[in-house]
């Protein structure tokens, strides 16, 4: 008997027919003699709908209440799955994050899981029940409902699997594994059999939303291998696990693209000690994750600073900076949403020269201008205009020999 945690994403529970499909898969796993814990996302589109509803009231809704609101999406799908399993003759019980409890930090909309109490789940499993847990949500130490950030149900699943010392953590989604690039961008993408945590971490950090970055981080630190599979077929998925000798160390393993970033430029910033800290401390306090930062050479003691943030945080960040404009002594603040970040990732990059040059040449050949560049040991990212994102991905995928051979 194995203990298996299965997570089903929004598209997998998008309507009653799909919930019935999930119920059949869960039942099959249970009938094979396993203990099963299911983590569910909200039905496809529901989280967006809830966010839009609140934003129709005001652009920057109160974050505590946003978490109360958006956490309802998962509560609906977990109950519908439990009702479906019950109608099929299985004993299932669903729990919201606060009922388990899944204890998190108090950072609304971006909380981090601190603890998953295993007692209730373990007791139900021992009594032969299928346990369903709402993904994406938890409770902070003051008793407030929190959520983990968009895509956070993956993290819930890995955290539950770690707490229960599960044998497997399976993430079911609308693609049948992790590909060399988003298979919705090019049909030449190839499915990978195994991906190292480190590579997946970089891929997730730059737009491969197939797995949420914190889920990968948790899997890596807690030693939980993660299998990504389709809920619509029975084909073999992709295993995300520790790097081993047998893994192909491709120069470039994957190309990713993120169109959910925005760029803020501060013009006329005084070039003296302490200025960068004044700008970035309030953004950090508001839990805004700043990614790439560039400062141009100063002329007459005045410089420009540009940086990228998640586009969902653009209005919030602009408001914080505008409010502090005089204190910061900044001349002008502008925000741009029409950017994308394309990246190439590969463990083999560590030991090869010329990878960046090849990336820049590929983009140049397509006449795509690079606005910002950042690198890590196994990743290179370029910010470009959003309208060129897919073209850039296809060109890089082809030039780094990732296209499926026909």
**CB environment 105-127: b (16+ within 10 A), e (fewer):** bebbbbbbbeebeeeebbebbee
Say which residues have a Cβ less than 8 Å from residue 160's Cβ, sequence separation at least 6. 5, 37, 39, 102, 116, 121, 133, 166
Instruction: For residue 14, count other CB atoms closer than 10 A to its CB.
Output: 18
- Report if residue 345 touches ligand ADP, rule: CB under 6 A: no
How far apart are CB 154 and Mg ion at their closest, in Å? 6
Q: Which is nearer to ligand ASP, 25 or 150 (CB)?
A: 150
Instruction: For the segment 55-114, give every residue that binds ligand ASP (CB under 6 A).
Output: 73
Cα maximum dimension of the chain: 76
Q: Which is nearer to ligand ASP, 76 or 294 (CB)?
A: 76
Task: Select from 6, 12, 34, 41 the one that contacts ligand ASP (CB under 6 A).
Answer: 41
Instruction: For residue 272, count other CB atoms closer than 10 A to its CB.
Output: 10
What gap in Å lies between CA 289 and CA 309, rounded to an integer? 6
- Report if residue 214 touches ligand ASP, rule: CB under 6 A: no
What gap in Å lies between CA 90 and CA 357, rounded to an integer? 58
Q: Which does 42 bind (CB under 5 to 8 A by kind): Mg ion, ligand ASP, ligand ADP, none?
A: ligand ASP
Instruction: For the segment 40-69, give every residue that binds ligand ADP (CB under 6 A).
Output: 41
Stretch binding ligand ASP (CB under 6 A), from 149-157, 269-277, 316-324, 346-354: 149-157
What gap in Å lies between CA 136 and CA 158, rounded to an integer? 11
How far apart are CB 70 and ligand ASP at their closest, in Å? 7
What gap in Å lies between CA 54 and CA 180, rounded to an integer? 37
- Report if residue 42 touches ligand ASP, rule: CB under 6 A: yes
Q: What's the gap between Cα 26 and its chain centre?
A: 24
What gap in Å lies between CA 138 and CA 94, rounded to an integer? 14
- Report if residue 10 touches ligand ASP, rule: CB under 6 A: yes
Residue closest to Mg ion, measured at CB: 151
- Report if residue 137 touches ligand ASP, rule: CB under 6 A: no
Q: How many residues bind Mg ion (CB under 5 A)?
A: 2
Residue closest to ligand ADP, measured at CB: 9
Tokens 């994957």: give the residue: 254
Instruction: For the segment 161-190, give every residue that binds ligand ASP (CB under 6 A).
Output: none
Residues lying near ligand ASP in the complex (CB under 6 A) are found at 9-10, 41-42, 47, 73, 135-136, 150-154
Residues that bind ligand ADP (CB under 6 A): 9-12, 41, 151, 173-175, 178-179, 181-184, 208-210, 254
């Amino acid at each position: 008997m194995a203990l298996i945690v299965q997570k089903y994403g929004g598209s997998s529970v998008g309507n009653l027919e799909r919930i019935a499909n999930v119920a059949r898969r869960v039942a099959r796993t249970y009938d094979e003699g396993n203990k099963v814990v299911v983590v569910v996302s909200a039905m496809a589109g529901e989280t967006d709908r809830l966010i839009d509803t609140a934003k129709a009231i005001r652009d920057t809704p109160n974050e505590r209440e946003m978490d109360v609101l958006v956490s309802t999406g998962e509560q609906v799908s977990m109950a519908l799955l439990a009702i479906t399993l019950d109608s099929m003759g299985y004993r299932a019980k669903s729990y919201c994050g606060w009922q388990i409890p899944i204890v998190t930090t108090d950072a609304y909309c971006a909380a981090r899981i601190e603890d998953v109490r295993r007692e209730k789940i373990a007791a139900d499993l021992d009594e032969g029940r299928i346990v369903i847990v709402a993904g994406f949500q938890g409770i902070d130490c003051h008793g407030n409902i929190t959520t983990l950030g968009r895509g956070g149900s993956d993290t819930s699943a890995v955290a539950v699997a770690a707490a229960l010392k599960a044998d497997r953590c399976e993430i079911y989604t609308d693609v049948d594994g992790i590909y060399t690039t988003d298979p919705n961008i090019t049909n030449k993408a190839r499915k990978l059999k195994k991906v190292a945590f480190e590579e997946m971490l970089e891929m997730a950090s730059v737009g491969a939303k197939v797995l949420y970055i914190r889920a990968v981080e948790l899997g890596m630190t807690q030693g939980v291998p993660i299998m990504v599979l389709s809920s619509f077929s029975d084909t073999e998925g992709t295993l995300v696990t520790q790097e081993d000798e047998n893994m192909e160390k491709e120069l470039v393993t994957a190309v990713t693209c993120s169109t959910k970033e925005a760029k803020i430029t501060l013009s006329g910033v005084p070039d003296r000690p302490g200025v960068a800290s004044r700008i970035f401390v309030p953004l950090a306090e508001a839990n805004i994750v700043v990614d790439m930062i560039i400062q141009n050479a100063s002329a007459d003691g005045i410089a420009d600073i540009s940086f990228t943030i998640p586009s969902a945080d653009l209005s919030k960040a602009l408001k914080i900076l505008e409010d502090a404009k005089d204190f910061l002594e900044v001349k002008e603040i502008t925000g741009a949403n029409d950017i994308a970040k394309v990246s190439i990732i590969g463990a083999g990059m560590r030991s090869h020269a010329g990878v960046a040059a090849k990336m820049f040449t590929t983009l140049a050949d397509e006449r795509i201008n690079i606005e910002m560049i950042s690198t890590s040991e196994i990743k290179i990212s370029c910010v470009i205009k959003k309208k060129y994102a897919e073209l850039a991905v296809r060109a890089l995928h082809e030039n780094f020999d990732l296209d499926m051979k026909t």
